[in-house]
Amino acid sequence: MQGLLRHDMPQPIPALSFQNAKNETIELASFMGRKILLNLWASWCLPCLTELPSLDRLKAKADSKELVVLALSLDLKGLPAAMAAYRRLNIQHLDLHTDSSRNAGEILKIPYLPTTLLIDSAGRETARMLGAYDWDSQESMRLLKQF
């Protein structure tokens, strides 16, 4: 699987906060106890826009009690840019989350977009996918069952 970096030992995730569609602050820690697929993207990133529909389909299929699918926009223009991208792509299931300060990218040491972190139920990063990926493929489903 090209772009997948598995960690020998799960890595702790620093405290991270971002905004939801109502501009309320959300803590990543509030999702602990479930596996988290955290995708960092931006509306100007063509591979990100290619990947978002597969994340939307994954979110529709996933058992939300077991797996949280979070797409976090790092657009400097914040919510308006993310909303416009969701409308253009007809995203129906992914909740809007934004970090216009782009702190998440720095805190998580994201080299480029898109990057997706696989976080276990204890809140530790077990792997990351660098680049776009088809998240609702059969290969993806096998990967998600493993972490």
The CA distance from 16 to 116, in Å, is 15
Pairing relationship of beta strands 67-73 and 115-119 according to DSSP bridges? unpaired
pLDDT-derived band of residue 80, with 50, 70 and 90 as boundaries? very high
CB atoms within 10 A of CB 109: 10
Q: Which domain holds residue 79?
A: 4-146
| Mean pLDDT on 104-128 | 96
**Residue 53: C-alpha distances to residues 23, 73, 137 (Å):** 23, 14, 12
pLDDT in tens, 3-16: 899 999 999 999 99
pTM of the model: 0.95
Yes or no: say if 39 and 131 are a contact pair by the CB < 8 Å rule. Answer: no
Nearest to 55 by CA among 146, 101, 117: 117
Each residue's pLDDT tens digit, 12-34: 999 999 999 999 999 999 999 99
What is the rounded average pLDDT of the residues 118-133? 96
Provide the CATH number for the domain around residue 14. 3.40.30.10
Task: Give percent above pLDDT 70 in the chain.
Answer: 99
Residue 104 CA to residue 38 CA, distance in Å, equals 11
- Whether the pLDDT of residue 1 is over 70: the answer is no
Q: What domain count does the chain have?
A: 1
